Amino acid sequence: MKFGRGGFLPRVPGRPSRHVDAAPLPERLVVELRRDGLTYVPAVRDSERVAFGAPLAWAEANGGRVALPAPAAGTVTIDSSDTGSAGSVVLNVTSHDIHPLGTPCTPERTTAEAMRQALAEAGIWPLIWSSRTGAMPALDGSETPNRILVNFVAAEPFRARGKVIWGEYGQNVTAGLRYLPRLLTEYGIINLTLTELDHPVAQRIRQETAGHAWIHIESVPVRYPVEHPRVLCQALRQSDPRFQREDVLWILDVQAVQAIGGCMTDGIPLHERVIAVGGPGASNPRHVRARIGTGIDRLLERGELTETKRVLRGGLFRGRPVDAAAAVGYDDDAVFVLPRPEGREFLGFAKPGFDRTSFLPCFASQLTTAAADRRLTTSLRGERRPCIACGLCEDACPMGLLPQVLHRYLYRDAIDEAERTGLPLCIGCGLCSYVCPSKLELRKQFSEAQVRLREEREQAAAAEAAHKRQEEAFLREKEHSEDWRK
């Protein structure tokens, strides 16, 4: 596939190994009631016993209902004490068993509607991204994709890698790939994106999918944020002329396909995730298989969740810091451990820099291929300064935007100009903030402006609706008074 300029892959130490550990099932699982911006309403009462896979909570979305299935059997405690969040359901585990919920169907005999229903109940539906909604696809069957793209690549340091998932659950992934065509339109195509087509894993995938003419394997560069759905969608549009503008594309990662495979063949709902635990602060970077609701502290080695380190949920660029109480969610696939800065470095800017790597080739680490950014911490690594228009953000932006220009517009509050100059296209990958030598908070500035734009648009729509209503009422009254006069 064709990718434009931009993107970047920093050399960060602490890459998770291919080894997948299984985290022990704790006695207490915490299921947060907010997922993907949706707030779920509990479907269970306090101290009720639930079976494995029974819905803990529901949310209405896009013409249907999606569930949060219980990751294990147990007794429920509803925790709404935390006023800031939507609350959570605590599950005191009584049984470790995993058992199928429904009677499975072969791919040939499954209908699209039954599959949508099953995936919504199994908590898998929100893992699919639709180019029409920009989030999970509609559940009422109003959209059928012409394309489904299954992405194996995760360039952001460090997300669970497709190849590792394939190694762990190869069978489920192939099963999932057999079911996916049921959701497609007639003659729809499934694209698989991999990094190297001659890699042994890629060859095995090719063997497994041989004979399925609707599966096309493509290679993509390993450059963050290649895994972002909107970047993939744009690349597909540019490289495949058959993919029209009005065509619908669904994108999902390998873990979602694996979950679909498990759900459709064995009737098992989404109950565990493979989490990549990595980063310069991680003492044992690896992949961990964990039941949903497991505390994030249980994925880490003892002593990693301390004051000297910051644990991010997600990767380096988009991860948010979490505290000890946080638990593995339904869409988590990464935990990134960053050390906090220890002290101030003497004349750091004048050192050759074998121990740091940068977007600009201006450190000595450039001379060796094995160098990694060993000094990466949560520090800004420089003073905040005004923009000097060095243009690094423009070079890094994967969407071909001009972040330095947007920054100038937003600095003087010209939000309309920023909108025209592509602000709505920003995907919030965070590369501009990452590379900025002036340490400007560009990502934050842009996302706040996007929220403001959305609010302004909603307000304008509401005002217009109110105005319309007023006008109608006026007209009605006028007619009425004219009637009366007659």
Asked if omega into 158 is within 30° of 0 (cis), the reply is yes
Residue 243 CB, shortest distance to another protein, in Å, is 15
CB nearer another protein, residue 217 or residue 405: 405
Count of CA atoms in the C-beta half-sphere (13 A) of 419: 13
In this structure, what DSSP letter does residue 179 have?
H
Q: Which of 149, 175, 220, 392 binds another protein (CB under 8 A)?
A: 392
Counting contacts by CB under 8 A, is residue 389 touching another protein?
yes
- Alpha-carbon span 261 to 86, nearest angstrom: 31
Where do we find the tokens 């402006």? 449
List the interface residues with another protein, window 403-422 (CB under 8 A): 404-405, 408, 420-422
CB of 232 to another protein, least distance (A): 15
Smallest gap, in angstroms, from Cβ of residue 310 to another protein?
6
Rounded to whole angstroms, the Cα distance separating 405 from 411 reads 10
Q: Where are the alpha helices (DSSP H) in 213-339?
A: 229-239, 254-266
Pick from 317, 334, 335, 372 the residue near another protein by CB under 8 A: 317
Member of 30, 272, 318, 449 binding another protein (CB under 8 A): 318
Instruction: Tell me the window of 82-90, 114-122, 206-214, 369-377 that interacts with another protein (CB under 8 A).
Output: 369-377
CB of 324 to another protein, least distance (A): 17
| # residues contacting another protein (CB under 8 A) | 72
Residue 376 contacts another protein per CB under 8 A: yes
CA gap 444, 430 in Å, rounded: 9
Q: Does 372 bind another protein (CB under 8 A)?
A: no
Q: CA 454, CA 280: separation in Å to the nearest integer? A: 37
Q: Among 46, 196, 345, 479, indicate the residue that binds another protein (CB under 8 A).
A: 345
Rounded to a whole number of angstroms, the minimum distance from the CB of residue 277 to another protein is 16
Which of these ranges, 91-99, 105-113, 424-432, 449-457, lies near another protein under the rule CB under 8 A?
424-432
Q: Is 343 exposed, middle or buried (0-12, 13-18, 19+ CB in 10 A)?
A: exposed
Which run of H or E residues covers position 120? Answer: helix 112-121
Q: Which residues contact 146 (CB under 8 A, 6 or more apart)?
A: 184, 185, 188, 189, 243, 244, 247, 248, 249
438-477 residues near another protein, rule: CB under 8 A = 438-439, 441, 443-444
- Is residue 329 within the footprint of another protein (CB under 8 A)? no
CB count, 10 Å around CB of 340? 13
